[in-house]
Amino acid sequence: MSAPARSESAAPASSPPFLPLTRPTIDDETIAGVAEVLRSGWLTSGPKVKELEAKLSEYCGGRPVRVFNSGTCTMEIALRIAGIGPGHEVITTPLSWVATSNVILAVGARPVFVDIDPVTRNIDLDRVEAAITPATRAILPVDLAGLPVDRDRLHAIAGRHRLRVIEDAAQSLGSTWGGRRIGSFGDFVSFSFHPNKNITTIEGGCLVLNDEREEKLAEQYRLQGVVRTGFDGMEVEVAGGKFNLTDVAARVGLGQLPRLAGFNARRRELARDYFELFAAQGAAVAGLQLPPADFTNTNWHMFQVLLPEDRLTVKRADVMAKLQAAGIGTGVHYPVIHRFALYRRLGWKDGDFPHAEYAGRNILTVPLFPAMTRADVARVVEQLAAILQAHRP
């Protein structure tokens, strides 16, 4: 008796792996270097922190740089060094991570929001001067998605009104303006090294400063205001905090910084793929607003689209859920700050900043990180186009 016939039908294809919104790339040499630090017994701030600060200073054209355990405390410390506190105002954007304005509240000052430019999605410099009052002491702009605010106009406005500038450049390490690296010029510049940034120290950040006085104050604010002399001398002149970076984290940063240019070059390639593949979708993505196609200045920290809310029968959360079901992670960067309860209690309300509010309702961040492939980009574009096409009014 012959054996029963075997089915020749192919096994069902497995689903593609989940594509996260972002994923850091950390090489084996860096991982081994972290193990060396762990074995050394010097885990908190030490020689690796000093080495990273020296490398960052070199990157920023020789300016003083100090590292910290986040890219949030860096802005608060810059505000404190600038002498900003109760009774003062700081102009900023409502479209950012809430840390940008929380640090203003933390020093006792008041954030003054200015609406965004609907094209760049950065603070609208045409509106800034109208927001300046006798209480204004600084401007705190944000380079959303790594696209720099116009530094020439920004510093011209600040100069005319004798204001300090604290650049929230958390997302723009490796971006440029006028052929110069962000961080190599200007006033205070704050970078973040969170895992979703273009390079990481796991958690961490740095502050670029102007002179030795600011450098010393930053060190004091970083660690409880302490100044040490000799073997046992200690003085405290300002109320500092606990913001120091560990040597473990600094070793990760030392492995990442030399790869920044390569990471950003890959991000630019992937951004070009997004533009090309979205264009090929034609009517399927009608109304979808892409970011400015800037391949000169931006580091392409994120690729963000604005959903066409008047051409969709579903909300952004539904679109995100459908992409999640298709194995694609997304994010929202960001809900507008002034609509949070904390800021409503301070007097802001719906309708105050219509361009920012439209972006806050409709902005969608899609995956972009160096380990991605063109096929990954195609998958995102195809899935998003299909969702938009299926949910037209």
Mean pLDDT per 10-residue run, the chain (393 residues)?
Answer: 41 79 98 97 95 98 98 98 98 98 98 98 98 98 98 98 98 98 98 98 98 97 95 95 98 98 98 98 96 98 97 97 98 98 98 98 98 98 98 95
Name the domain boundary from 234, 259, 284.
Answer: 259
Token pair 């490796």 is at which residue? 174
Is position 18 within any domain? no
Q: Is 317 found in the same domain as 186?
A: no
Q: Is 163 found in the same domain as 214?
A: yes
- What pLDDT is stored for residue 281 in this prediction? 97
Number of structural domains in the chain: 2
* Cβ atoms within 10 Å, residue 392: 13
b/e map 188-219, b = 16+ CB within 10 Å: bbbbbbbbbbbbbbbbbbbbbbeeeebbebbb
Is position 118 within any domain? yes
Is position 9 within any domain? no
Out of 48, 50, 55, 197, the active site residue is 197
pTM of full prediction above 0.85: yes
**Is residue 334 reached through a cis peptide bond, with omega within 30 degrees of 0 on the bond before it?**
yes
The count of C-alpha atoms lying within 13 angstroms of the C-alpha of 4, restricted to the half-sphere facing its C-beta, is: 2
- What pLDDT is stored for residue 13 in this prediction? 61
Is position 23 within any domain? no
- What pLDDT is stored for residue 15 in this prediction? 81
List Cα–Cα distances, 68 to 4, 51, 169, 190, 353, in angstroms.
Answer: 70, 14, 15, 10, 33
Distance CA 190, CA 76 (A): 10
Name the domain boundary from 189, 224, 259.
Answer: 259
Tell me whether residue 349 is one of the annotated catalytic residues: no
Token pair 């009517």 is at which residue? 283
Range of the domain at 225: 28-259
Name the domain boundary from 223, 244, 259.
Answer: 259
List Cα–Cα distances, 251 to 25, 55, 242, 283, in angstroms.
Answer: 14, 12, 20, 48
List Cα–Cα distances, 6 to 2, 9, 230, 341, 352, in angstroms.
Answer: 12, 9, 84, 65, 69
Distance CA 331, CA 341 (A): 21
- Which three-class secondary structure state does DSSP give residue 222? helix
Q: Is 160 found in the same domain as 96?
A: yes
Is position 363 within any domain? yes
- CATH code where residue 32 lies: 3.40.640.10
